[in-house]
Amino acid sequence: MKARIISALLRLYPAAWRKEYGPELEDMLYATRLTARVVADVVIGALGQRVRSSDAATRAGVAMLMVTVVAFAMNVAAPAAYDDQTNAKVPALSEVAQLVQQPLQSELYVLMLVGFTAWITCRRGGSLREAGGAAMKMSFIAGLPMTAAGVLILSGVLGLLPLAPGDAPTTFAEHGFSLTYYATRNVLPAPYVLLFSPLFRLPGAFIWGLVGGLMGQWMARSRRPAISS
């Protein structure tokens, strides 16, 4: 059993890393008691190596994924309230909450896609198709926590707490491990919507990647020195 666990843990690392450092880590794991903490440290290390060896779009997608995870954590721990006068979320939490409730309409989500693809196209070149593909990869990775939330809701682990825009959100002590959402006509966080959210977002992400690519190409042209005749 221990040999199988160690073998599975080693496969989490990139092939190039395993070739150079795998035997050393394997010997260390065989000589160590595999506690939950040790396994967690190895998994975290593997994820770090995967990120370091990945392309820029994957790293940017992981950064966006972390933003989404924080948004979900804040939603569970301290759901954002609505302003009764403006029927809008409290400004200090609006974008974070919107990443969960209306990911396709989040300005922060769009700015991250456009900004990254503009930067990468300006710096490294590439076609508009490549910029759109990079944005799709970022979007898919960033949406994985939503898929996980859908699975948790369908399995009964995560609760789903609908509120009307005028209702006050409950505290974590009251609602427990539950996702709060405001049941307006624009927000439908049903389990299956969350489950397939990364796929729903891909066409829009491709378009925003094209926008960022166009901006990057324009910035690259503007940086080139003029050739005097």
Per-chain mean pLDDT for the chain:
79
**Do the Cβ atoms of 95 and 107 come closer than 8 Å?**
yes
C-alpha–C-alpha distance, residues 112 and 117, integer Å: 8
34 pLDDT above the threshold of 50: yes
At residue 108, does pLDDT exceed 60? yes
The share of the chain scoring above pLDDT 90, in percent, equals 15
pLDDT tens digits, one per residue of 112-129: 899 999 999 998 888 999
pLDDT at 88: 47
State the pTM of this model: 0.69
Work out the average pLDDT over 5-21.
86
* Token reading at 192: 């299956």
How do the residues of the chain divide into helix, strand and coil, expressed in percent and rounded to 5?
A: 70, 5, 25
Interval 46-68 mean pLDDT: 82
